[in-house]
């Protein structure tokens, strides 16, 4: 089988922030362990060779640096397949915490900016990932215009919406070998397959709207495959990280970015160039590629005409509609004026005795703010900001249907039965099928251990070195 004809195999790693809603003193790591233990009661599992465990659908559940993480099984079918398995992780988690007082959130940012939780992408490639970085950076830096989760810009002391608040915390294009650096692409080595490499992209939001998630999976797979084959676009960004910051905060999607050539282009322009690239090379792409391209074009046209048209279709436009609905009741000029004073950081005078002002407005002139706006307006400003922060977190809470019920998020690609089936059954398109079958058959073997490329029993090993092989070979251990 040639490289061009092989399926594009990819998977997602979804991070969850957790807490005990009854006992706030418990550590996140302790809550993670309890949730992971609860999840095991719903599905056949097998202990992982490193940490955590694998489930019968081929996915892995584990605790990583104080948060819960669910790595989906490898999927090689159309984008809808991976959407179903990503959401199967949500559904299994929701079953585990229902009625327990435990809480989990996906795709959120800690109020102090100390931590973020989102999704990492893995795509199977045939060349070392560092060789794909240059043709991919412009794509990754600007795709948040349709793949951003949206929400309050928590770095800003005022009230400002961002297309992807989490992306604003990324500071590097490439992370070298360190898993802790916030970078667009991680160059960590892949020891889970033979003869191929893994592209590990960390700058992805966990999405909720079907169309947004469909594009995030489908377009990314197509662009990565073309980069792996040596195809790229001529729109190379002069400063990819500056473009990330601008694209993630530009709700108009119309501000221009500087290219390496000295010319300028908007994020929409850059994404259109990748769309053109996809259309030029349908012959080396899967048969679902044309449908993905057509849907991307529709979204880009809508962004150019009026992003509000996409409420209910992509995440950030949906959440912004809710954000704007709340702000319609407010004095926008007053809010902007207060926010401007907080950003300007005027010289501090003698602080007021009120501890509320010392905590809310540190490093600013509290007396001057009081004289200019009055305590009532300042307290209302802070209450509004806290409301929007709470709203952000509640929308991302696992086990709720906030986006669907509040703003009628469109569901057109994946059904509830698809997701429910994905909890218990592995994909039929990759080695996850053989892994899942072995887990169901041998979960009670006391010596059993699983990892991505093998399943080990007391006296046998199932080798799974090829991600696209749906069956493996048992050998004596």
Residue ranges and CATH numbers for the domains of the chain are 10-324+392-422 (3.30.590), 425-476 (no CATH)
CA 27 to each of CA 20, 48, 213, 280: distance values in angstroms, whole numbers, following the listed order: 9, 23, 31, 52
Per-residue model confidence (pLDDT) at position 470: 94
| Percentage of the residues of the chain whose pLDDT score is greater than 90 | 65
Higher pLDDT pick, 415 / 339: 415
Mean pLDDT of all residues belonging to the chain: 88
Name the most confidently modeled range: 230-234, 289-293, 377-381: 289-293
- Tell me which of 32-41, 42-51, 297-306, 371-380 is least confident: 371-380
Does residue 473 register a pLDDT over 70?
yes
Burial of 221 (0-12, 13-18, 19+ CB in 10 A): buried
Question: What is the pLDDT averaged over residues 458-470?
Answer: 94
Per-residue model confidence (pLDDT) at position 348: 40
Per-residue model confidence (pLDDT) at position 234: 87
Per-residue model confidence (pLDDT) at position 132: 93
Report DSSP state, residue 75. B
Question: What is the pLDDT averaged over residues 324-341?
Answer: 84
- Tell me which of 51-65, 152-166, 308-322 is least confident: 152-166
Per-residue model confidence (pLDDT) at position 361: 60
Per-residue model confidence (pLDDT) at position 214: 97
CA 289 to chain centroid: 22
* Residue 19, H or E segment: strand 10-20
**β partners of residue 417:** none
Does residue 295 register a pLDDT over 50?
yes
**Which residue, among 115, 213, 190, 158, has the nearest Cα to 467 in the 3D structure?**
190
Per-residue model confidence (pLDDT) at position 356: 53
Does residue 395 register a pLDDT over 80?
yes
């Amino acid at each position: 089988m040639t490289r061009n004809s092989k399926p594009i195999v990819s998977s997602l790693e979804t991070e969850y922030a957790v807490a005990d809603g009854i006992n706030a003193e418990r550590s996140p790591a302790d809550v993670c362990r309890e949730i992971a233990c609860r999840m095991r009661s719903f599905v056949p599992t097998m202990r992982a060779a490193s940490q955590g465990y694998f489930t019968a659908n081929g996915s892995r559940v584990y605790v990583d640096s104080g948060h819960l993480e669910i790595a989906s099984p490898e999927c090689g079918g159309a984008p809808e397949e991976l959407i179903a398995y990503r959401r199967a992780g949500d559904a299994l988690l929701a079953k585990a915490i229902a009625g327990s007082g435990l809480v989990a959130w996906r795709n959120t940012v800690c109020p102090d900016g100390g931590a973020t939780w989102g999704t990492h992408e893995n795509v199977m490639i045939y060349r070392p990932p560092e060789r794909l970085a240059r043709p991919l950076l412009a794509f990754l830096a600007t795709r948040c215009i349709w793949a951003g989760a949206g929400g309050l810009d928590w770095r800003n002391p005022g009230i400002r919406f961002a297309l992807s608040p989490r992306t604003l915390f990324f500071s590097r294009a490439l992370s070298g070998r360190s898993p802790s650096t916030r970078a667009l692409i991680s160059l960590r080595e892949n020891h889970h397959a033979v003869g191929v490499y893994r592209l590990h992209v960390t700058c992805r939001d966990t999405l909720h709207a079907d169309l947004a998630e469909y594009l995030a999976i489908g377009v990314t797979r197509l662009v990565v495959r073309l980069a792996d084959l040596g195809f790229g676009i001529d729109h190379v960004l002069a400063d990819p990280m500056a473009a990330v910051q601008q694209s993630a905060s530009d709700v108009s999607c119309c501000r221009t970015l500087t290219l390496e050539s000295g010319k300028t282009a908007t994020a929409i322009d850059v994404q259109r160039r990748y769309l053109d690239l996809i259309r030029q090379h349908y012959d080396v792409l899967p048969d679902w590629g044309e449908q993905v391209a057509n849907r991307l074009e529709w979204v880009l046209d809508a962004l150019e005409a009026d992003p509000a048209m996409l409420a209910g279709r992509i995440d950030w436009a949906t959440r912004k509609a809710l954000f704007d609905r709340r702000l319609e009741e407010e004095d926008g000029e007053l809010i902007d004026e207060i926010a401007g004073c907080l950003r300007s950081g005027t010289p501090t005078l003698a602080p007021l005795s009120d501890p509320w002002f010392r905590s809310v407005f540190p490093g600013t002139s509290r007396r001057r703010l009081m004289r200019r706006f009055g305590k009532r307006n300042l307290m209302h400003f802070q209450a509004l900001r806290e409301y929007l922060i709470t709203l952000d977190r509640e929308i991302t809470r696992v086990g709720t249907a906030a986006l669907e019920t509040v703003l009628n998020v469109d569901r057109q690609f994946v059904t509830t039965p698809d997701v429910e089936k994905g909890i218990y059954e592995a994909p039929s398109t990759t080695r996850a099928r053989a892994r899942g079958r072995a887990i169901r058959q041998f979960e009670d073997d006391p010596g059993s251990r699983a990892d991505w490329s093998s399943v080990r029993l007391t006296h046998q090993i199932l080798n799974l070195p090829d991600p696209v092989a749906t069956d493996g070979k048992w050998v004596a251990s």
